[in-house]
Amino acid sequence: MKRFDDRVALVTGATGNLGQSICEKFVSEGVSVTAADLRQDKSEAFAASLRAAGGRAIGCSLDVTSTESVCAAVAKTLETFGKIDILINNAGVWMHPDGVQKCLSETPEEFWHEIIEINLCGAFRVTQAVLPAMFEHHYGRIVNLGSIAGEVGLPGFSDYAASKAGVIMLTKTLAMELAPKNITVNCVSPGMISPVPGETQPTEGNWVGRSGERGEIADAVMFFASDTAGYITGVDLPVDGGRILGPRNNHFHC
């Protein structure tokens, strides 16, 4: 069985490090891709690089805080490819607008709203917009990007942690709602990921002893997005080197 059979994917946050890796892996397996991100010029330049590598791809601007922008991106995808089989809700932010982590007692309300609006409400808007197309074909794969912060919290980033916890619960609830429509909904929750493509850094913060590489996150996303994962739905998969298993004990060795 092929992992992907004439599939079309819409990827949000496509020009970020993880978004690029996801799109590149999709086109390498014959999936047609809409690479959507805030800036049209960056999205189209990235899509052009995917086409130059032999893939089918278009770029489009997408602001997940705007219903009008979301609907326009979905319409452009349908006009170009005729359907949407796969949605990757990857667009998101974690740092506060001023670049400083803050205790909840010091977090301005507008910062809280911005993080929730992008990470959680954005996933809601894009998912709602693509569902009619998935209903029409009685098929869909939705993969949301969570975070281990949404599972165990992250001091200084209560807004980010809350938004990602919401994404995880949105995943589970949608999985139950959409299963009768042959649409699966799963979530990948990364731990610490190296900012350098193809490289990792040593760390004592998890059991594996290194940071993750963005391709490892993309591989997990690809699995959930594939035809071969049709019996899996409602799963939140931590890809974190064992970070949330518990404190690493550096004094005990088997």
The pairing of beta strand 183-190 with beta strand 57-61 = unpaired
Residue 186 — very low, low, confident or very high, per pLDDT cuts 50/70/90?
A: very high
Helix, strand counts (H, E) of the chain = 8, 7
The answer to whether 49 and 23 have CB atoms below 8 angstroms apart is no
Sheet holding 8-12, edge to edge: 57-61, 32-37, 8-12, 86-89, 140-145, 183-190, 236-239
The answer to whether 86 and 141 have CB atoms below 8 angstroms apart is yes
Q: What is the mean pLDDT of the chain?
A: 95
Per-residue pLDDT tens digits for 101-128: 999 999 999 999 999 999 999 999 999 9
How many whole angstroms separate alpha carbon 180 and alpha carbon 177?
7
Per-residue pLDDT tens digits for 83-98: 999 999 999 999 988 8
How many whole angstroms separate alpha carbon 208 and alpha carbon 193?
13
What is the chain's percent helix, strand, coil content, to nearest 5?
45, 15, 35
The answer to whether 8 and 85 have CB atoms below 8 angstroms apart is yes
Domains along the chain? Answer: 8-243 (3.40.50.720)
Predicted pLDDT at 248: 80
Active site (catalytic) residues:
160
For the segment 158-176, the average pLDDT, to the nearest whole number, is 98
Q: Is the model's pLDDT at 230 over the cut of 70?
A: yes
Two structure tokens written together for 220: 């997990």
> What is the distance, to the nearest Å, from the Cα of residue 202 to the centroid of all Cα atoms in its chain?
25
The answer to whether 57 and 9 have CB atoms below 8 angstroms apart is no
For the segment 54-58, the average pLDDT, to the nearest whole number, is 97
For the entire predicted model, the pTM comes to: 0.95
The 10 Å CB-count burial string (b at 16+, else e) for 77-97 is bbeebebbbbbbbbbbbbebe
How many whole angstroms separate alpha carbon 170 and alpha carbon 148?
15
How many whole angstroms separate alpha carbon 13 and alpha carbon 47?
13
